[in-house]
Structure 1
């Protein structure tokens, strides 16, 4: 799972015993060499799907990390691409490794739960960050996204189908979440990283509650399961001309 350029076991252990912010500050120089970075196959699939919907004007990458999602924005946005993250080191690595071309990119340090923007964006994307938010935080997070989009603006992110109960992936994810709960019960500060609670039904209900209209786009590059359902979807939530509740 890790390349030779990735973090050592000791470095991962130190990160796991830190806060989320400090942990990612420590991991930043080697983050792109870990499986935590969103794979290019997913980024390319989302960029292709958004290209069929767009183009867009200004875009925001929520919890941008080292900026892989910013490359998606710069491919589909004409005016500006902004990355926001609360890890100073992740932002610094992103600035250093930013690719040339496309609209100008800007990097902003901020908490996604308190975004320092008005309704100026046409598109918000996010990749792999939702496990760092507790279920009770989702309504506030989605309300923040709603508030920075112009009417008609879109919030888009990939969402993979959950592993089949009893499969290897199911037990691996269950074991990971259980280990994180034990860690957080025994150690402070907590490190929030739970991916199983972020399910389509819950996510869709919370998005609609704050004023989004939700559509699902199958990412056919990843195929379909035995029952015909997509292995991976792109969720597209559109801000309607009504205020968030």
Structure 2
């Protein structure tokens, strides 16, 4: 699962016993050599789905990490911005995408108002408990201009009979036990963001939502009041 250039078992254990922010600061230099990086196939599929929906002026990658998602924005937008709360991950993104504006901020309190035509996010929802999603989506809604588009990569859950299903069940169980007995918490769950619940939260934030394979396209209505 891991490249020889990826983290050691000891490094992963230290990261897992840290806070989310500190854990990603530690993991950042080797993150792109782990299976946690968004696969290129998902990035390419998202770019393909968005290519006919532009043009877009300014693009925002929410929870940009090391900048893989910025590769989707680069050919679609005149300007691109990435936001993340891990200084270590932003340092890697800065090296990979020197043309991007990078901002350190908590995605639950995004510091933008109607500055973007397109927002994307990849692999971040597992870091937000269901009660935190409204703040996240409200912030994205405020960051977009009227008519702006939020593309959220969200794959279908694996079949119950598959090994992947039981691997995600086991991972979430281990994380819940870890967070019950250890502080600070490390919020990362695979099964807290079912598509119906995410869709409902996006609509409550003021978006219309279109379902695509592996993707939700949420548009800010030009005359919506938001939330």
The bucket for the TM-score relative to the shorter chain is over 0.9
Equivalent residue number for residue 230 of structure 1: none
Could you tell me how far 1:167 is from its partner in structure 2? 2.1
Query: Which of 188, 204, 207 is equivalent to 2:202?
Result: 207
CA distance in 1, matches of 2:131, 2:171: 20
Distance 2:212 2:176 in 1: 33
Find out whether 1:150 has 2:145 as its counterpart: yes
Query: Which residue matches 2:19?
Result: 19
> Between Structure 1 and Structure 2, how many residues are aligned?
226
2:226 paired residue number: 244
Q: CA deviation at 1:118?
A: 1.1
1:157 CA drift (Å): 1.6
Q: TM-score, normalised by structure 2?
A: 0.97
Among 126, 135, 153, the alignment partner of 1:131 is 126
Q: How far apart in 1 are the matches of 2:86 and 2:137?
A: 20
Q: Deviations over 1:108-137 (max 9, x none)?
A: 100001111111100000000110000000
SS of the counterpart of 1:53?
Answer: coil
The aligned residue for residue 51 of structure 1 is 51
2:48 & 2:183 partners in 1: Cα distance? 41
> CA-atom RMSD, angstroms?
1.0
Unaligned runs of 5+ in 1: 219-232
1:106 Cα deviation after fit: 0.6
Q: Which residue of 2 aligns with 1:9?
A: 9
Cα-to-partner distance string for 1:117-170 (whole Å, 9 max, x where unaligned): 111100000000110000000111111110110010000022111111232111
Q: Distance in 1 between matches of 2:92 and 2:127?
A: 20
Distance in 2 (CA, whole Å) between partners of 1:206 and 1:62 is 17
What does 1:91-102 align with in structure 2 at a 5 Å threshold? 91-98=90-97
SS of residue paired to 1:124:
strand
Structure 2 residue aligned with 1:225: none
Unpaired segments ≥5 residues, structure 2: none
